[in-house]
Structure formats: structure tokens, C-alpha cells
Amino acid sequence: MIGRRLSPNLALNQLVARRRGDGESIVHLGFGEARLPAFRPLVERLVAGAERSLYGTVAGSTAVREAAAGYFTRRRVAAAPDQIVVAPGSKPLLMALNMVIPGDVLLPRPCWNTYAPQAAYAGKRAFGVPIPDECGGVPEPAALRETVRAARARGHDPRIVVLTLPDNPTGTLAPPSLVREICAIAEEEDLYLISDEIYRDLLHDPARPVLSPAEVVPRRTVVTTGLSKSLAIGGWRIGVACFPDGAWGRDILAGVTSFASEVWSTLAGPMQEVAAYAFAEPVELREHLAAIVRLHGAVAREVHRSTVAAGATCRPPTGGFYIYPDFEPVRGALERRGITDSDSFQRQLLDEFGVAVLAGHHLGDDEGALRFKAATGQLYGETQEQQELALRAEDPLRLRHITETLTRIEESFAKLCR
Ligand SMILES: Cc1ncc(COP(=O)(O)O)c(C=O)c1O
């Protein structure tokens, strides 16, 4: 069934833009975008690629697929260029996977707001499985097993598990031990894994161990990633999928490429030029990324501190630019203000305090819970100059334009919970 409403995060982003356009001052924690200037060498590659105006190969040029294969191989996911497909964003690749892999879908709950609608468009059921206390992005293993068995007993066919490593919305990374447990269940229950690793290069501590399920059960894992988040070029739309070696992987890749050929044809030529450069990870790009990561980490930790100071519980963020606080401990104070569920929470934060967040029920969470996602990637300044300053600052939290915004957030949460 095709709906008529925009995806809630994009709808909220447009609402914020409209209200700001009308003169309202809004702190935007409601959209997963890093507000940073495009790195100069990327712009240069884009311009250099402008002459590439013909349709290209559906899966992407050899050069871009070689670069992406190298990118995955350096992350211990050995890949050859013919296991790679590039596309205008990882979103269409995830949709294609939904169309091509048979069976129903198992999702961590909460999870990114697009997984469930995509499954629905593909005619699949989506089963939400609670996440563990320690992190998001993976279902709690015992609950996963139970959900699979219960669904099969009712005649459904859960077959695909989506993992987000690191996670949107919690900003956390599942440890290797948990990933291994999920992989073991996948083997036992004959499940396939889609590992969405779009935040992988945004781990705040680069030494933190990352295990992709593609290292453990390579034949049953497809990995997706892209440049939207790590390099803050979401509007350029560059995504990539890495398919398993072997008969199943080849079949799914053929299906995704066929779908691509009927829907988007190919990734735009200039973007392939950018992607070939970026996936080769030259040293200047790695240094730029390291600066981005430091900034995300510092600001996400500070917003996390504000929510905890106001009385919420919240998993400490370790990757990306999100936190997912739970205000249940201060439910009494919120109820006195008329905030009784996740919907009224989002509404009042915006209307009374001018703070935009995305309510948890949009992410599959309980409507009655007092949880939301705060995306912290838009707090680096309104102008390119401010954003550059933030990127280069030894301590971005001491920059006036950032301090002012963080103080407003802290005061809003504190006042709300008083
Ligand atoms: C977890 C996750 N996966 C995928 C995407 C889609 O990214 P893109 O289509 O820009 O590659 C997003 C964007 O918000 C995301 O948060």
C-alpha cells in the first residue's frame, strides 16, 4: 500500500524549514543530517565529473566498484568489484533488497524510520524486536529467537534481519559479542542479514572494535553504506551495497541490479567520480573525517549530558550524531505539563521551547513511552564560516555559537522536567 504522507523525519525537516522561514527560532534536533560544508576536494571531483553526462553501467563504473571493493576489504569484508553496486543513496538499495529477498523482515525496535515503510511497500510484514539495554541497532537475541518462532507458528515467514552498526537512533554500536549471537541465530534459523553500516566511519573512538556480520556469516549478509552521513553530502545521494560471494549473493545482486535498471538506471556520472575518490580514502579525506568525528562526538556527548541532567536515562552515544533519551523517570513532571506520550512530547518541545525532535513512535517504539531521537549534527552553526570554525576548533564546545545553542537545549530540558 502506497501511503500519502512524507517520511516523518523529512516531513519534520520541511516543517522546521517553513517555521524558520516564518521567523521562528528553532533548535533542530529532528533530522539526521550533519550541517557541514562539502569538503573542497569532493567538490573538485564533482566538477571534474560534470562531463560524464551519458548513462553508465547500472551497477556503477569499474573504477567506482574497484574503489568500493577496496573500502570494504580494508574493513575485513573481502569484496571483489563484481560484488558491488552503487546507487543514488543507500535508501534505494535497501528498498531494492526488500523487493528482491523473499520473506518478512525483523527490525530492531526502535530503528530508523524508513525500514518498516520500505518493507510494507515490498508487501512484507515487519516484526519489531526490542533492543538490548546496552545498545541499539540489533535485536535482543532471546527476543529475536522468540519472535521468529512465534511468527512462524502463526504462518509468517520472517527471513531478513536488519542491523544498524552503529545505530540510528541510539547513537550506539553493538559489541562484537552481540553481533556474533545474532549471526549464530541467523545460521540456526536460516535468516539473512542486511547490515546497514552507513555510520561506521563515524565512531567517536576509532579504536572501538567493530564487527560486521559479513565477517561472521559472509554468505548470508549484504552490507550497505554511503557517503551521506560520514562526509555530510546527503543531498548528493551516493550509496553502495556489498553483496556476498556465492550463489545466493550473486542471485540477490542480479535481482537488485535488475530492479535498479528499471527504477534509477545508474548513479549519476559526476557522483561516481566523487565516490571513486572517496572510497579510495586518500589521506586528506581521512584527516577531514577525523575532524568531523571529533566534532560529532563532543556535541553528542554534551546533549546526552543535558538529558541525563534533566532526569532522563540515556545510553551514552559512541557513534554518529544521535541520542535516544528516555524521560520515564520524570514522567510526573512531564504529565503536569500535559505530556503523556511520545506524540505530545514532540509537539510540546517544538511549540513551547522551539526544540524539534523526532518522537520515538515514528521509530517503531511504544506510543506511550516518553522517548525521542535527538539528532545533534545540525548544531555546528548557521554559516559555512561557523561550521568550518567548529570543525577546526580544539574544543568546539567553547565556541560561542555552539555554546549558546547547547545552553538553550540544556535549559529547555531542565525547565521541561522541573
Ligand atoms: C540508518 C540509516 N540508513 C540509511 C540512511 C539513508 O541514507 P542515504 O539514502 O542518504 O544513503 C539513513 C539516513 O538517514 C540512515 O539513518
Q: Is residue 211 part of a domain?
A: yes
Give pLDDT, residue 417: 92
Q: Which of 237, 259, 280 is the last residue of a domain?
A: 280
Q: Residue 375 maps to which CATH number?
A: 3.90.1150.10
Q: Which residues of the chain carry a pLDDT beneath 70?
A: 1
183, 129: one domain = yes
Q: Is residue 46 part of a domain?
A: no
Give pLDDT, residue 127: 98
Q: Residue 239 maps to which CATH number?
A: 3.40.640.10
167, 237: one domain = yes
pLDDT digits (tens, 9 = 90+) for 214-237: 999 999 999 999 999 999 999 999
265, 321: one domain = no
Q: Which of 280, 310, 328 is the last residue of a domain?
A: 280
> Is the beta carbon of 91 within 6 A of some atom in ligand 1?
yes
Euclidean distance between CA atoms 349 and 416, whole angstroms = 8
How many separate domains does the chain show? 2
371, 243: one domain = no
249, 392: one domain = no
Q: Is residue 150 part of a domain?
A: yes
pLDDT digits (tens, 9 = 90+) for 59-70: 999 999 999 999
Domain encompassing residue 16: 8-31+284-416
122, 183: one domain = yes
Euclidean distance between CA atoms 93 and 394, whole angstroms = 38
The atom number, within ligand 1, closest to the CA of 196 reads 3
- Strand partners for 373: 358
Q: Is residue 322 part of a domain?
A: yes
Q: Is residue 156 part of a domain?
A: yes
The atom number, within ligand 1, closest to the CA of 237 reads 10
91 C-alpha to ligand 1 centroid (Å): 6
- Residue from 98, 112, 240, 363 whose mutation best tests the ligand 1 pocket (most atoms within 8 A of CB): 112
119, 172: one domain = yes
> Is the beta carbon of 89 within 6 A of some atom in ligand 1?
yes
Euclidean distance between CA atoms 51 and 33, whole angstroms = 29
Start-end of H helices in 49-175: 62-73, 90-100, 115-121, 141-153
129, 269: one domain = yes
The atom number, within ligand 1, closest to the CA of 93 reads 9
269 C-alpha to ligand 1 centroid (Å): 21
- Residue from 162, 163, 164, 198 whose mutation best tests the ligand 1 pocket (most atoms within 8 A of CB): 198
18, 92: one domain = no
Euclidean distance between CA atoms 317 and 167, whole angstroms = 10
Q: Whose CA is nearest to atom 13 of ligand 1?
A: 32
Q: Which of 225, 251, 280 is the last residue of a domain?
A: 280
78, 223: one domain = yes
Within 10 angstroms of residue 401's Cβ, the number of other Cβ atoms is: 18
111 C-alpha to ligand 1 centroid (Å): 11
> Is the beta carbon of 226 within 6 A of some atom in ligand 1?
yes
The atom number, within ligand 1, closest to the CA of 92 reads 9
Give pLDDT, residue 1: 66
Residues 6+ apart with CB under 8 A from 68: 60, 79, 81, 84, 86, 240, 242, 275, 279
128, 230: one domain = yes
99, 130: one domain = yes
311 C-alpha to ligand 1 centroid (Å): 30
Phi, psi of 6 (to 5 degrees): -70, 155
> Is the beta carbon of 228 within 6 A of some atom in ligand 1?
yes
Q: Is 49 helix (H, G, I), strand (E, B) or coil?
A: helix
